[in-house]
Structure 1
Amino acid sequence: MPGYHWISLTTDYGLSDGFVAACHGMFARIVPAIRIIDVTHLVPPADVARGAAVLAQTAPYLPDAVHVAVVDPGVGTQRRGIALQTPRGALVGPDNGLLLPAADALGGVREAVELTNPAWFAGTVSHTFHGRDVFAPVAAHLALGHRISEAGPPLDPADLVRLPEPPVEVGDGWLNAPVRTVDHFGNVQLGADASALAGLGPRVRVGEVRASKAETFGVVPPGEMVVYGDSAGLVAVAINGGRASDVLGVTAADPLRIETVD
């Protein structure tokens, strides 16, 4: 049976506990030769939107794999565990909106199932650690080459939980969009497509801060702000040598206005 040589893992588990290692251990116990890519384990706790964005922006650049994502504030409740098949791999995790952006980026959902097959779970399933006891062993079985339909009954992809689209407004020389993510460097990514930059002039104001529209950070002098299209194809704001998020005082989901100035 064809399977996968790779599993990727994206979580909000952090690095100071043994949660990630326990998931790795479950993968290795079932598929000893599996190779694992840790996307990140520093998603802010319970920040489903951030986890979804990181996975969606990373998965297309990984080898075909089973992608496990666990940012799961509803663990142990009635929220479903799901597996999705796409043209470029499978995804396993909670049905809370976390997986669908990555599925779209990998070519769309071809098949969706609810995880109900206890033979694919750990012997004892904790109410609070489905990453180890449900999602990791399910992913390992898919990596072995088992069909996704063996994991549980089919679901209509239209019935899966999807995160709301960000409210973006674009006008003549301006745009309003929420902050989608803030990265390690303090760069501020908005929910607006980079094509929205075409309607802005070369000099803009971001909130109350003047900035330049450019292609990359080094185009402006150190300490100055730049608005650009980032590597994910979205509008972003940075400071050459600084942290735009600190200067603007914004975090995820905050609204931000960019407008052309003379």
Structure 2
Amino acid sequence: MGYDCISCTTDYGLQDGFVAACHGVIARITPTTRVIDITHSVAPQDIRGGAAVLAQTAPYLPNAVHLAVVDPGVGTARRGIVLLAERGTLVGPDNGLLLPAARALGGPRAAYQLENAEYQLPRVSATFHGRDVFAPAAAHLTRGVPAAEFGRPIELAELVELPEARVEVERDGLRSEVRTIDHFGNVQLAAPASALAECGLTPGTRVRIGTGTAAHECSVHHTFGDAVPGELLVLVDSAGYVALAVHGGSAADRLAARSVPMFSVTRVAR
């Protein structure tokens, strides 16, 4: 099955030429394929963060090949894979990065190892598989090359899974690991919206956000504008997860969230 679109998700940043090199490889193989950049601002080596943003975004894109590279194990024995999902195909390292998106795209169907040199660049660097292995594979997939041509099949049960994020729900609140922090400084927790409902934290409820070393009192709100400017709040974000935010500001900065692995959100006793 051919595609006319490739999405790209990496931790390469835009300061260097890494993204342009991958785009260039794709363009040389399939000049008419449209490339949509999801993000190149995943925190370096943050596999969990890359997996989250890819899984949250891919379902809103056209049926596509999703090229994703957050790859601290590049050049080691970790596998490169093509992963077929019901509504798209994913290409990248077998380190847990792709499976959440495959599930968001209707579920994984089959996987193949990237090992056929015919679909790689002639010289493969030990440190840049995004350019030399993954981008060529994505481009050839859009040209209709069957996934089975890239290498041997892999049992889905053998694919690397990320550890489950820790979420604890109690009667008066919850504790959760951070899932992502976006450009605005909104802190998305791994707790789904149902966790707020389960512990009765509805809009208007006063809560205390705990970081382990400090506590901040605020309210649960439906949206940013329900809080006064500069106010800290808890809400359900557009992806359906519990999030910490500041109306017109950065919750990540307010809470020093980049150094806090888990937050608690508990009801304030009256």
- Establish whether TM, by shorter chain, passes 0.5: yes
Q: CA RMSD in A?
A: 1.1
Q: Distance in 1 between matches of 2:36 and 2:113?
A: 24
Q: Distance in 1 between matches of 2:126 and 2:252?
A: 37
Partner of 1:116: 115
Aligned counterpart in structure 1 of residue 209 of structure 2, from 203, 206, 209 = 206
Deviations along 1:17-40, one digit per CA (max 9) or x if unpaired, are: 111111111111111100000111
Q: Distance in 1 between matches of 2:2 and 2:139?
A: 10
Q: Distance in 2 between matches of 1:180 and 1:38?
A: 21
Percent identity over the alignment is 60
Partner of 1:184: 183
Partner of 1:30: 29
Matched, 1:237 2:239: no
- What are the equivalent positions in structure 2 for 1:77-96 lying under 5 Å apart? 77-96=76-95
Contact 1:180 1:252 in 2 (8 A): no
Q: Secondary structure at the match of 1:112?
A: strand
Matched, 1:255 2:262: yes
Partner of 1:136: 135
Partner of 2:42: 43
Partner of 1:221: 228
Amino acid at match of 1:217: F
Contact 1:179 1:252 in 2 (8 A): no
Q: Distance in 2 between matches of 1:192 and 1:171?
A: 12
- What are the equivalent positions in structure 2 for 1:7-26 lying under 5 Å apart? 7-26=6-25
The structure 1 segments of at least 4 consecutive aligned residues displaced by more than 6 Å after TM superposition are none
1:253 shift after superposition = 6.4
Q: Secondary structure at the match of 1:145?
A: coil
Q: Distance in 2 between matches of 1:33 and 1:241?
A: 41
1:241 shift after superposition = 1.2
Partner of 1:146: 145
Partner of 1:173: 172
Q: Secondary structure at the match of 2:154?
A: coil
1:167 shift after superposition = 1.1
Q: Distance in 2 between matches of 1:83 and 1:109?
A: 11
Q: Secondary structure at the match of 2:153?
A: coil
TM-score (norm 2): 0.94
Q: Distance in 2 between matches of 1:28 and 1:252?
A: 39
Contact 1:182 1:252 in 2 (8 A): no
Amino acid at match of 2:171: D
1:245 shift after superposition = 1.3
Amino acid at match of 1:26: V
TM-score (norm 1): 0.97
1:93 shift after superposition = 0.2
Q: Distance in 1 between matches of 2:145 and 2:47?
A: 28
Gaps of 5+ in 1: none
Q: Distance in 1 between matches of 2:116 and 2:183?
A: 39
1:226 shift after superposition = 1.3
1:224 shift after superposition = 1.1
Q: Distance in 1 between matches of 2:147 and 2:33?
A: 18
1:44 shift after superposition = 1.1
Contact 1:69 1:93 in 2 (8 A): yes
1:252 shift after superposition = 6.9
